[in-house]
Amino acid sequence: MSSLKGKNIVLGVCGSIAAYKIASLIRLLGKEEASVQVIMTPESTQFITPLTLSTLSKNPVLVDYYDSKTGEWNNHVHLGLHADFMLIAPASANTLAKLANGFCDNLLAAIYLSAKCPVYLAPAMDLDMWKHPATQHNLSLLKSYGNIIIPPGNGELASGLVGEGRLAEPEEIIAFLQDSLSKGKPLLGKTALVTAGPTYEAIDPVRFIGNHSSGKMGYAIAEELESLGAKVTLVSGPTYLKASEAIKTISVRSAQEMFDACNGVFADTDIIVMSAAVADYTPKDPATEKIKKKAEDFTIELKKTTDILGTLGQRKSNNQTLIGFALETNNELENAQDKLSRKNADFIVLNSMQDAGAGFGTDTNKVTILSRDNAPKNYDLKSKQEVAKDICQLIVDHQQSPINSKS
C-alpha cells in the first residue's frame, strides 16, 4: 500500500517557471489516492492558473486570505492543522527567505507558520540564486526548524545556465515523500487485525441483543497501528464511526460474522487486537417474523457464541502478538489474569466499570495492562487516542522482541 494513500496534503505553489510541473505532480498524488489542497502565492498564478490546479486536485485553489466577492475567510489555522504534511513546490528563493525569517504577508506563509505537521520544501531557482550565501543561510535556518528539503536537480535552467537549482521532477518528489514517510515506522511490513464495536444478536428481524460499545477504542488502535506502518484490517460491529481510507474495514453485525471475518485473515496476520465487545450468547432460534406482544412472560433460549479470542489464541504462533480486552465489575485483576492464561493472549487490557471516565461510550479510558512476563501496569485516565499509543508501544516492543524479530 502506498504511504501516501489517504493523506491530506497542503501543496503550496510559489512564483517560479517550475510551477508548470505541479500539474503533473498533482496527477501523480491523485494516483496515490492522496487528497490535495493547493495554496498558491499571488505571483505563482502568473505561471499556471488556479483553474488548472483546481481541476486536477478536485478542490478549490486558495490564493488570498479571503474571497473579495463573498468576504469568506480562508482559515489558515484550520488548513495547517488538518494536513498530514505540507509540501511547498516549487519553493522560490523569495518564499524560502520569508519562511526562514517568519514573514507572513500571504496565505501560504500564514499556513506554514500555523502548521504542526511535517513540512517538505522543494526549492527551484537559478544557479546563482541557489548558491548565494543568503539562500544557503535561509535553508540552514529552515532545516534547523525541522523542515525537510527535497534537493533540487542539476541540469539546464530557465536562464540558459546549467547547474543546480532545477525543481526535482514530479516522480522524484513522489519517491522522496514515500521514502520519507516510510522511515521511522516500526511496524512497516507488518499486518494487523483489530476488532471494534458491539455485536448485535438477532431475536427477530427488528430486535436484537446488544451492548453499549461505541467502538472508539478499537478505531483509535486501528488508526495508530496504521500510522506506525502496519497494514490494518478492521472488523467492526455496528457503529457510526468511520476509519481512514488507508484501513481496510469489514463491517459485521453478529458474533458469528465477526468470527468468520477474523478467522479468514488470522493466519496471515502479525498483530491481533480483539477490542470488540462480542456477545457471549446469541438466541438459539431467531424468529423469522416480528414477535408480537401477546404473552405476559416471554423466554428466549440462548446458546454460547464462538469464543473468538480463545479460538484464535489456541492457534497463535510465537511470532504473533495477541491482545484481548476485559471489562470487569468485580475481582478485576483476578478475572483478567485468568483470561490472559485461558485465552493464550500476550496482553490483556483491563477496564474497570468502577473507574470514572472509562468503559463504553466515553472519549477517555483508564486501563491496566497485564502481560505474561511482567507485573500489571496501571495507566492514568487518558484520551482513547493516547491509550491507543500506549497499547501500540507494547505491540511494537513485542514485535521487536528476539522471537518476533526473526519473522
Q: What is the DSSP string of 24-72?
A: HHHHHHHHTT-EEEEEE-GGGGGTS-HHHHHHHHTS--B-SSB-TTT--
Q: Tell me the C-alpha distance between 222 and 196, whole Å.
A: 9
- The one-character DSSP state at 4 is T
Give the number of other CB atoms < 10 A from CB of residue 380. 9
Q: Which of 8, 211, 335, 344 is catalytic?
A: 211
Burial class (CB in 10 A: 0-12, 13-18, 19+), 378: exposed
For residue 400, the one-letter residue type is Q
DSSP SS3 for 212: coil
- The one-character DSSP state at 19 is G
C-alpha cell at 33: 489516492
Active site residue 211: yes
Q: Tell me the C-alpha distance between 88 and 67, whole Å.
A: 22
Instruction: Estimate to the nearest angstrom the gap between the alpha carbon of 282 and the chain centroid.
Output: 34
Catalytic positions, written as ranges:
211
